[in-house]
Amino acid sequence: MSLFEKFTPLLSNNAVALTGSELPKDLLLSSEGSLQTFYAPFDYINTQARITICGITPGMHQAVVALKEARRLLNAGAPSEEVKRKAKETASFAGAMRKNLINLLDSVGIADLLGINSCAHLFDTHTHLVHYTSALRYPVLINGGNYNGTPKMLTAPSLRHQVDTYLAEEVKALNANCLFVPLGEKVSAAFEHLQSKGLVKDEQVLSGLPHPSPASMERINYFLGKKDRPDLSIKTNPDKLDAARAQLLAKVAGLRDKGWL
């Protein structure tokens, strides 16, 4: 029995409160110290995707959005596959980070590589081109708040299990030419781990984008050319961002020239 099937009765139960402050304890999958992993319907894999966008883990907001959409569809009698697909599409990178993500992807030529005029269409008319996922598929909380990569996911057994099980499963299920865009250094580390196991090739991984979280706005704005170097705080390393942008632009251009997709 899949996790989705196991939790379907709870997902469809209107008596189970879905709020933005905590997740139902009956959805708890594992606990490790201050880390807790919960189930939310992020199971769907778009096996025909040409590009995969990978975050760290669904946050509380995304988890609640997915749970509510799954409940709405289940109670409307929708088939399980449709429930899983729409719940994931609705919740993936929902909120303020979606606009940042679109701008970052467009800035390095991903839209052109995919033959669309903006990566905004990956969230509406061209969802068939993209697979949304996270290095940690199911929502991880730390001390009740969103997990941001500390402790490192490869050093915590419950988190490494998600990388080695669910992320590896998704990589294997996707097209051999699918490209992967890890969001932030901590997700890039997970893909380096999968590369070391021979599950993904270096040319498939487009690392270097800042994480699209609103908490990273200074780094995002510099990467996009909206903030000048002299105006940066000491928390932002412009040389590192410049190098990442140049490398990404060159890699995307090379893929386009080779007709990768």
Q: In order of start, what are the domains of the chain with their CATH numbers? A: 3-209 (3.40.470)
Q: What pLDDT, on a 0 to 100 scale, did the predictor assign at position 93?
A: 80
Task: Check if the beta carbon of residue 188 is closer than 8 Å to that of residue 182.
Answer: yes
Query: Token pair for residue 114?
Result: 């995919």
Task: Check if the beta carbon of residue 32 is closer than 8 Å to that of residue 160.
Answer: no
3-class SS string, 163-220: HHHHHHHHHHHCCCCCEEEECCHHHHHHHHHHHHCCCCCHHHECCCCCCCCHHHHHHH
Encode 201-233: b = buried (16+ Cβ within 10 Å), e = exposed. eeebbbbbbbbbbeebebbbbbbeeebeeeebe
106-154, pLDDT tens digit by residue?
Answer: 999 999 999 999 999 998 899 999 999 999 999 999 999 999 899 999 9
What is d(CA 90, CA 73) in angstroms, rounded to the nearest whole number? 12
187-207, pLDDT tens digit by residue?
Answer: 999 999 999 999 999 999 999
What predicted TM-score, i.e. pTM, was given to this entire model? Answer: 0.91
